[in-house]
A and B are shown apart, each in its own frame.
Chain A
Amino acid sequence: MAECGRVDSNTSSHTMDKSITLPPDEIFRNMENAKRFAIDIGGSLTKLAYYSTVQHKVAKVRSFDHSTKEAAGDKLYEISVQEEVTARLHFIKFENAYIETCLDFIKDHLVNTETKVIKATGGGAHKFKELIERKLGLKVDKEDEMTCLIKGCNFVLKNIPHEAFVYAKHADSEFRFQTTNPDIFPYLLVNIGSGVSIVKVESEDKFERIGGSSIGGGTFWGLGALLTKTKRFDELLQLASKGQHSSVDMLVKDIYGGSYACLGLTGDLIASSFGKSATADKEFSNEDMAKSLLHMISNDIGQLACLYAKLHNLSRVYFGGFFIRGHPVTMHTITYSINFFTKGEVQALFLRHEGYLGAIGAFLKGAEEDNPNQYSWGENYAGSSGLMSVSPDMNPMQRARSGTFDMLEMDRLDRQLVNLPLLQDPSSYIPDTVDLTEDAQAREYWLSCFEEALDGVVKRAVASQPDIPEAAERAEKFRQKYLHKLQTLRHQPFAYGSLTVRSLLDTREHCLNEFNFPDPYSKIKERENDIALKYYEKAVKSLEELSWEDRQFALVRGVLAGNVFDWGAKAVSEVLESNPEFGFEEAKRRLEDRPWLVDSFDQWLERLKGPPHRCALFFVDNSGVDIILGVMPFVRELLSRGTEVVLASNSGPALNDVTNSELQILTERIAAMDPVIDSALREDRLTLVQDGSSSPCLDLSRLDKVLAMLVRERQTDLVIIEGMGRAIHTNYYAMLSCESLKMAVIKNSWLADRLGGKLFSVVFKYEVPAGKPH
């Protein structure tokens, strides 16, 4: 039935623990600017949500005015670090025992708020109502629990990639994360609190409790406590994980002597839960009884969930509630039950942030006037603890005594993110090429690789802020934080969803931002852009002297050679670091000769002999030589053929990737030298857009909405993706509904080895979707 009231917490939760001191750097961050609070108080855990603004430094580039150009010396553009205010959602989970300490802390640190009300949900809300109102001076406004739960569920499903996962205890990776399906409705939510509620969710605002059961987490806890004299829920689960249910349950083989073959019932199937305790005159161990009870309840819930899923024709069934919350034991038994009853037709899905749904929902209820649902949000890896940070199985003692705070932070993104309309099948699109949660060998390599590269990143970060004395200290904090994340991921690769090279890169960017290193490569980028610009006219001229066919090859080689200039690649950054003279021609010499590792250049050339494309969408990569001497001449050729070009670059900085604002300036400068580019810009045949991302990789399911609109408007029929991060670590297997070109140089010997090539091997992958011949 209704999850409701969750549980009567055990007595220890009632005694307020005031002895703990809270580490304010770590939890309740940005409390000074907090506004809008919501709280979800369950049987043993409190989840606090607040909205706050974060002031952090951002790197801005700005063209010099013509008038002041002299004063600027030889600088290409002005780089400034500015304070920017962004919105962030904070969620903190802690044991009810700490609620008073936490409220005191909040009160002391809350300065700038005009908030009068705190939204509350959860069974414990009424119990602490008076305390909250007295401590915070806020009025407690209670919200319906199920409404909050559903709102929260919709929010995480929409905004957090890899939110949902399938649990497979005996598989290589226990967690198989689901790709974000843009269409999350309809689904079934089975919330297992003290009872069970089964809710059908049809849209943002439409949901219905279609059923439930009184046999739920409270039954496991209550009956378990009676049978085993074990008081705590977690301890009961631990007992269960050690027990043998077959000594308590009557199995099919106990009745039949074997299987009941004609009905397909195997001998090990439970015929009667606790059936043996009715007849056998003996003592049963606590472990065995707890296990039997766990199976009984999990099977029962699984069976009901299947019956309801079948009746309402739903295939997506999410499980939540305190019975499930981060417990591998219950996720396993529920999964087993669902597989048994549906014969694999329905998968049991779980949520990474299941514990926060109520708090998120309550918050959203209170923030309706801000329209939080019109924005896109992103999980901040730097500020979030990750899955199972307080799992009893990972850390039983810690959980038992607690003091553990689990956190989730979500950044409000400036831009609304949507699918690239040119994805062949958005629901099956997976950006990442290798899932490191499943590939232990690759995981080990990349974790070590990122660990080894950390010194260099720290050095670069310090160097990017030469005038700020405390930069070194901050950089050290960054190092510690990222190192800690890497260590966590080594033990719990699933902590933030599927572990990928992309997530490792993104986590690093989030951590750098966290410690106010918004753009460590800004100066390097500027210098390289400046140098490259000087060679632009010469490069274009030499290309124009070539025959058409030679030129096409030279253009491709140019893009590839340009792509060698990548500070994100270990092998290259070492070369660039030691040899500042390393140039474009040098890079071309390093390139693999044809035939390349992946080589469809001949098909591409054939295609170019045909009619021009209507519009090409080009996802660019690095600054400097890459964009200016590699990409721009290639774009110029496309424009000359009569193809419109949309250049998509990052919204925010990542490594030495060119950002949209930098590219604006660079393009203007090139236009000043090159009438082809100039007229294309003026005639809107060349358009610069931001992709909505600040990642060295590319997720085509989360792109800027404006970009998506433009792509549709221009009837884009060619997508070009350049660089290792965007075309190999991600999107290597991406299927598009139009022609696509993926170009990259492999600048990592381990990866080259894996793909059967060598360092500086070339991937040139031209693809035409089936059924669209040219």
Chain B
Amino acid sequence: MDKAKSLVDKKGASGPFHVNNVQSPRGLNGLVVVAANGSCSTSNAFGLSTGPSSSTFEMHHLQRGEEKDCNGSPAKRSRLRRRTESVKRNRPPFPWFGMDIGGTLVKLVYFEPVDITAEEEQEEVENLKSIRRYLTSNVAYGKTGVRDVHLELRNLTMCGRTGNLHFIRFPTQAMPRFIQMGRDKNFSSLHTTLCATGGGAYKFENDFRAMADLELLKLDELDCLIRGLLFIDRVGFNGHPECYYFQNPSDPHSCVKKPCNLGNHFPMLLVNIGSGVSILAVYSENNYKRVTGTSLGGGTFLGLCCLLTGCETFEEALEMASKGDSTNVDKLVKDIYGGDYERFGLQGSAVASSFGHMMCKEKRDSISKEDLARATLITITNNIGSIARMCAVNEKIERVVFVGNFLRINTVSTKLLAYAMDFWSKGQLRALFLEHEGYFGAVGALMELLKTSEDL
């Protein structure tokens, strides 16, 4: 746990990413909220707190009793009026959420309006206000919820409103507690539509209904993924491009990350690496097909790492992998042929057999956890690269876009994918990456919410 924190901290310090004490344009608003809501201070991040405050979502100031006072009250009336006005303006009522419930992680995007008028502020029900305050004033929620502050999109205009888009994730395992919170805080009284995608939208649909009286608008995850991705690419990343690639991918010394614009250059092969992997051929925003998928994905990397090294988190696994040497674990072509296998044009440094050295007991006994973590990462990454490349060739597509949370803080994999695409295709294929890696499904779900209202 501590390691995870330090890693993120390090990450935050090392680049343009800031996790703690963010100075955002939302400025005052954020500070006020922090002040008003001391119990959810940043010290609670990464689950350092125990006891009753250890659940993912804690909103201490919200009282269940509030609900009773609302019946027939001025608050309810104003809520109704607000809703009517929103609809008039072809705009759904706040709060605006998009949710993507995956196999391992739940991704939540939240639009925080910053153009709230005084009148609106006054009319805003306490429930809604507290949600906004809670989400925007914290970077961690309970033990496992995290807001990726460095990804926040500021001063974004959506549906005529200006605001900040927040990116939050927490483990799917915490879903029951999340739903329970929705019930406790009487989320259903807000009359918002909860747009959800990912498998969990289906799996937890009944729980949302039964436990929290919430009706989910279930959306197809691939539709959402593409829509969200194209949207974020269009609006950019706070004035910078969302997309990047690696220049000189085949040379570790001069390989550098370069921003670029994805644009509407169809077709593209979209490789979404979550717990598992889906590969899509995308011909336009509304025309795509799922080419194939593989079960060897991020879940496999983490699952195997947990079993092999005893680690517990993705961050921990990546940290170990960054220090390891996979050639102690993998059998290379040169381990077998003493050099290149010229008959087939295979370089001596190519992996001939992943974990091949581990067939031998002496080597098993002398291996380090870091080496094992590294080998696992390399194995999974190479395999995804290989399948993606074959699909690109079969589908005759030259641009391969890699997304998904497996790539989060994972430069080993992104660089390896860039290299693999370039090397095996002799420069024909280009690997592209996006800064908001795993959040496009959730963004797509949010857009569906806004679109639904426009259709009214």
Contact = CB atoms under 8 A, between A and B. Distances in A.
Contacts of A5: 331, 335-337, 352
Secondary structure call for the B interface: helix
A115 interface: no
Interface string A203-224: 0000001010111111101110
Interface in A172-205: 193-195, 197
Contact of A256 (B203, B308, B331): B203
Q: B298, B300, B341 — which one has the most chain A CB atoms within 10 A of its CB?
A: B300
A214 B352 CA distance: 5
B444 to A, nearest CB: 15
Contact of A272 (B222, B299, B350, B383): B299
B211 interface: no
A272 B222 CA distance: 17
Q: A221, A273, A278 — which one has the most chain B CB atoms within 10 A of its CB?
A: A278
Q: A7, A250, A271, A272 — which one has the most chain B CB atoms within 10 A of its CB?
A: A272
B234 to A, nearest CB: 26
A195 B346 CA distance: 13
Interface string A372-402: 0000000000000000000000000000000
B31 to A, nearest CB: 36
A276 interface: yes
Contacts of A307: 292, 387, 390-391, 394
Interface string B324-336: 0000011101011
A647 B172 CA distance: 79
Contacts of B335: 5
B69 to A, nearest CB: 37
A346 interface: no
Contacts of B346: 1-2
B353 interface: yes
A254 B202 CA distance: 11
Given A226-B308, A250-B276, A214 B351 contact: yes
Given A2-B333, A214-B379, A227-B307, A311 B393 contact: yes
Contacts of B177: none
Contacts of A296: 295-296, 300
Interface residues of B, number: 68
A256 B204 CA distance: 8
A219 B173 contact: no
Given A274-B303, A275-B104, A252 B337 contact: no
A347 interface: no
A277 B382 contact: no
B265 interface: no
Interface string B282-306: 0000000010101111111011111
Nearest to A11: B361
A262 interface: yes
Nearest to A233: B359
B356 A10 contact: no
Interface in A325-350: 341
Nearest to A147: B343
A226 B346 CA distance: 28
A765 B321 CA distance: 74
A254 B372 CA distance: 27
Interface stretch (A298-306, A541-549, A584-592, A604-612): A298-306
B344 A218 contact: no
Interface size, A (range)? 35 or more
Contacts of B276: 250, 270-273, 275
A146 B307 contact: no
B352 A194 contact: yes
Q: A11, A214, A256, A258 — which one has the most chain B CB atoms within 10 A of its CB?
A: A214
Contacts of B104: 250, 272, 275, 278-279
Interface in B56-115: 102-104
Contacts of B298: 272
Interface string B162-206: 000000000111000000000000000000000000111011110
Nearest to A199: B344
A221 to B, nearest CB: 5
Contact of A255 (B200, B290, B303, B307): B200
A107 interface: no
A225 interface: yes
Contact of B351 (A1, A227, A255, A341): A1
B360 interface: yes
A242 interface: no
Nearest 8 pairs of A and B residues by beta carbon: A222-B358, A274-B303, A255-B199, A272-B299, A257-B203, A275-B299, A218-B353, A222-B355
13 contacts: A2-B344, A10-B359, A11-B361, A194-B359, A226-B358, A248-B303, A255-B275, A270-B276, A272-B295, A275-B295, A277-B304, A310-B394, A311-B394
Given A195-B354, A213-B383, A296-B295, 13 more contacts: A4-B341, A5-B336, A5-B352, A211-B386, A218-B354, A218-B356, A221-B355, A223-B358, A272-B298, A273-B300, A274-B303, A274-B304, A304-B390
